[in-house]
Structure 1
Amino acid sequence: MNTFINEKLLPPVMKFVNTRPMTAIKNGMLYPIPFIIIGAIFLILGNFPYQPIADYLTKIGLSPIFAQAYNGSFAVMALLSVFGIAYSWVHNEGYEAVSAGLLAVIVDFILQPNVITTVTNIADPTKTSTKFMVSNVIDKTWLGGKGMLMAIIVGLLVGWSYSWFLKKGITIKLPEQVPANVSASFTALIPAAAIIVAATVIYGIFSLGLNTTIVEWIYAVIQTPLQKVTDGPVGLIVITFLPVFLWFFGVHGSSIIGGVMGPLLLANNADNLVLYKAGKLSLDNGAHIITQSFMDQFITVTGAGVTIGLVVFMLLGAKSAQMKTLGKLEIGPALFNINEPALFGVPIVLNPLLAVPFILTPVAIGVLSYLAILFGIIPPMNGSFVPWTTPAVISGLIVGGWKTALWQILMLAMTVAIYWPFARKYDRTLYQQELDNAAAEGITPEA
């Protein structure tokens, strides 16, 4: 099996993951993360989970101010992503990439609708009207979760086409004496002109021919079905099984699957957030079960494989010096969802005995949590985004309230039961090896 996986299965997977588009998406999506985290903090402050405090912040006028910070950061994550993806593509090709990133932002703006057809009542946000239209504006809706797939497509196409112009030498070349920043601006002139013209033509085709915009068309025809796929059994298998399956062979499965699924899961997050802010967060109103928060707070909490159960065994039940020592070293990182010391120190990687609980645990938690939301035991995630290093229970409280935090506790307790028999078996093997080694060296081992 190990030979088959390493020689037949992993090579094509890694080849796909390391293609230019996937590399650009993975690297490009990293740029918005700091601003999403900062925006999430203001989101939490503006929608404080404790109602008396939330009412007080609204009364003194701070909630709208916090919302403004959120609107300028978290709420425009697609706009930040389109810059990052185009920049990453061109940078990886070895060219100056800032102009490409800015060009991608411009193209994204060109392809946006410039009319808002549904107006929200400020006094009562639950009421909307289509009797009025606002023109000559940019709808921020398409700069967030709804525009995520559009951002990926634009970022990739701009990055590829901009690099093509530079590779072919179709640029304005200035003498070497001209400062580099001035020269770079003229280098971008011809590629930018061609790409902007192409974007304008596309906008015209969709506007005049289909009476819509390409971002709205992509959202309706492509992104929405993809989000629905991620929100069902297929998405559940992908985020629960594949990351730990790849991790077992030493491949960073969380990074690979996160790079592919992350944009769609973030879009699911954003949809839930809109419903939450409108007071309509429910499955009946279209809330998603599987979101980025679902993955972070249930599937990878305490690290890939949800290895806190193994750590608890190492602290309380282990006899071997190896597992006792690793338990003391891993408990701190595990609280912040870092488990590389256990993955490579125990090790779990390429350890057939521990592979069973390592793969079974996130799948079991994922299925149970999915059913818990489906049957109303816990609410859907509210769309808040917390850093992946946020400790369990605290993170659950933020993204889903006390019921989600309590569910996290139950799921983490379940991991102890799953890991314990397998870890005990492995620990006995290690302990016997230590006894044999000590006997061979004439050393009396510690009890």
Structure 2
Amino acid sequence: MNQTGLTPFWNQAYNASFGIVSVFAVVGIAYQWAKNEGVEGLPAGMTAFVGFLILMNSTTPVMNGAKTVVSAQQALTLLQGFIDRTWLGGQGMIAAIIVGLIIGWIYTWFVKHKITIKLPEQVPPAVANSFIALIPAAVLTAMWLCVYIFFEKVAHTTMTQWIYTTIQTPLQGITDSFGGIAGPILGANALQNAAIFKKYGYVDAAHGGHIVIQGLFDQFSTVTGAGMTIGLVVFMCFMARSAQMRSIGKLALVPGIFNINEPVLFGVPIVMNPMLALPFFIMPPLSAGSTYLLIKAGILPYLNGVQVPWTTPPVISGFLIGGWKVAIWQAIILIISFFVYLPFARSYDNMLYKQEQAAKAKEEK
């Protein structure tokens, strides 16, 4: 990519999407909180965005090749007025969540307690909403400005950087273990892997790569749907004797390829079905756990942090997130899912078949 001169264009797209994912988070969280409370959500989201920007300052060194033009310490004072994209991406995610939650809560509290500018009923709602937002937005803006001043004068850093150093980085380390689960942190881990992959063309521990990222669970825990039911679907399509399982299998095969398995969950059903509960619960941790161990052992590469659409078919998704080795392993896991479900599915199918045959014999009489 560097030789063709295309890298700057890919970086432009990355910086405008994954590079500002924390902006989506802070606006979306505050917006949704207010909306769920019956309050106009857009002013809350915009107030959260303002607060998030107030809390940060340029803290990333400016480099010219290998030469440092402005150090990280100098950036804090010399580059005021610039927005540091470092904190708009995955590194600012935890700060964005905290700011979004606090602003959503306080903003709705002000509006619900009618601590707002009241206008006559004749004023159009669009205009009235703008004035309603003035007092809570002003209070929240002043509050975050005080927080910014405190961190700069006392801690000589920004709240965003402090949260990343003292909260997010340790949490990412905790989740990078066999039992690590935490959605926002896994997303941040994935974004870091994506940044490493973008820079070096591969991901490894030496460059700060993470094994436990969102893709590990999306593509090795819920691929083909919750419970990884594609093995069950294959059995129903080609081996089941009961009409119920065969018909549902034919209906569920194509959706299952695109990770949609509601026809199986509610049609077989798996929900509230003790005969199929065990493989449903066994398969996801078996798949994700074995994948973790293979990456840890160096047999599989670190996942590159690419977040593919959830409807991407398996094997294709495995190739996109880790290359041909991960694609092959994903295919093997799907084959394993067939054998995990097989004894349970066969037992349930035999029960249904006997019921159908008994009902048929009764009708013939």
Q: Distance in 1 between matches of 2:240 and 2:100?
A: 50
Read off the aligned partner of 2:68 and give its amino acid letter. S
Which aligned segments of 4 or more residues in structure 1 are displaced greater than 6 angstroms? none
- Is residue 75 from structure 1 mapped to residue 19 from structure 2 by the alignment? yes
- Is residue 212 from structure 1 mapped to residue 157 from structure 2 by the alignment? yes
1:391-427 Cα distance to aligned partner (Å, 9 max, x none): 0111111111111111101111111111111111111
Distance 1:96 1:302, change over 3 A: same
1:276 to 182, 188, 197: 197
Equivalent positions of 1:291-370 (< 5 A) are: 291-370=213-292
How much does 1:120 deviate?
Answer: 3.7
Q: Distance in 2 between matches of 1:197 and 1:101?
A: 16
Q: 1:4 corresponds to which residue?
A: none
Q: Distance in 1 between matches of 2:185 and 2:67?
A: 27
Q: 2:207 corresponds to which residue?
A: 285
CA contact 2:178–2:292 (8 Å) conserved in 1:
no
CA contact 2:18–2:191 (8 Å) conserved in 1:
no
Equivalent positions of 1:3-402 (< 5 A) are: 54=1, 59=4, 61-116=5-60, 118-121=61-64, 127=66, 129=68, 132=71, 133-134=74-75, 135-136=79-80, 137-235=82-180, 238=181, 261-279=182-200, 281-402=203-324
CA contact 2:22–2:92 (8 Å) conserved in 1:
yes
Q: Distance in 1 between matches of 2:108 and 2:70?
A: 45
Q: Distance in 2 between matches of 1:130 and 1:89?
A: 42
Read off the aligned partner of 2:358 and give its amino acid letter. D
Read off the aligned partner of 1:367 and give its amino acid letter. G
Read off the aligned partner of 1:102 and give its amino acid letter. M
Q: Distance in 2 between matches of 1:433 and 1:355?
A: 21
- Is residue 422 from structure 1 mapped to residue 344 from structure 2 by the alignment? yes
How much does 1:349 deviate?
Answer: 1.0
Q: Distance in 2 between matches of 1:350 and 1:180?
A: 48
Q: Distance in 2 between matches of 1:315 and 1:369?
A: 28
Structure 2 segments unaligned to the other structure (5+ residues): none
How much does 1:67 deviate?
Answer: 2.4
Distance 1:119 1:387, change over 3 A: same
1:83-112 Cα distance to aligned partner (Å, 9 max, x none): 111011111111112111000000000011
How much does 1:229 deviate?
Answer: 2.4
Q: Distance in 1 between matches of 2:288 and 2:349?
A: 27
Give me the CA root mean square deviation: 1.7
Structure 1 segments unaligned to the other structure (5+ residues): 1-53, 239-260
Read off the aligned partner of 1:270 and give its amino acid letter. L
1:316-352 Cα distance to aligned partner (Å, 9 max, x none): 2111111111110010110000111101111111111
How much does 1:225 deviate?
Answer: 2.0
CA contact 1:308–1:415 (8 Å) conserved in 2:
yes
TM-score by length of 1: 0.77
Q: Distance in 1 between matches of 2:21 and 2:208?
A: 21
1:19-44 Cα distance to aligned partner (Å, 9 max, x none): xxxxxxxxxxxxxxxxxxxxxxxxxx
How much does 1:131 deviate?
Answer: 5.3
Distance 1:130 1:432, change over 3 A: farther
How much does 1:160 deviate?
Answer: 0.7
Distance 1:316 1:187, change over 3 A: same
Q: Distance in 1 between matches of 2:271 and 2:59?
A: 53
Read off the aligned partner of 2:27 and give its amino acid letter. F
1:131-155 Cα distance to aligned partner (Å, 9 max, x none): 5455132111211111111111101
CA contact 1:115–1:138 (8 Å) conserved in 2:
no
How much does 1:128 deviate?
Answer: 6.5
| Secondary structure of 2:364 counterpart | coil
Q: Distance in 1 between matches of 2:86 and 2:12?
A: 14
Read off the aligned partner of 1:309 and give its amino acid letter. G
How much does 1:230 deviate?
Answer: 2.1
Q: Distance in 2 between matches of 1:294 and 1:371?
A: 12
How much does 1:74 deviate?
Answer: 2.1
Q: Could you tell me the percent identity over the aligned residues?
A: 50
Q: Distance in 2 between matches of 1:131 and 1:165?
A: 42
How much does 1:121 deviate?
Answer: 4.1
Read off the aligned partner of 1:119 and give its amino acid letter. V
Distance 1:313 1:368, change over 3 A: same
CA contact 1:158–1:195 (8 Å) conserved in 2:
yes
How much does 1:164 deviate?
Answer: 1.1
How much does 1:212 deviate?
Answer: 1.1
Distance 1:341 1:64, change over 3 A: same
Q: Distance in 1 between matches of 2:190 and 2:67?
A: 23
How much does 1:233 deviate?
Answer: 2.7
How much does 1:223 deviate?
Answer: 1.4
| Secondary structure of 2:288 counterpart | helix
How much does 1:231 deviate?
Answer: 1.9
| Number of residue pairs aligned between Structure 1 and Structure 2 | 358
Read off the aligned partner of 1:428 and give its amino acid letter. N
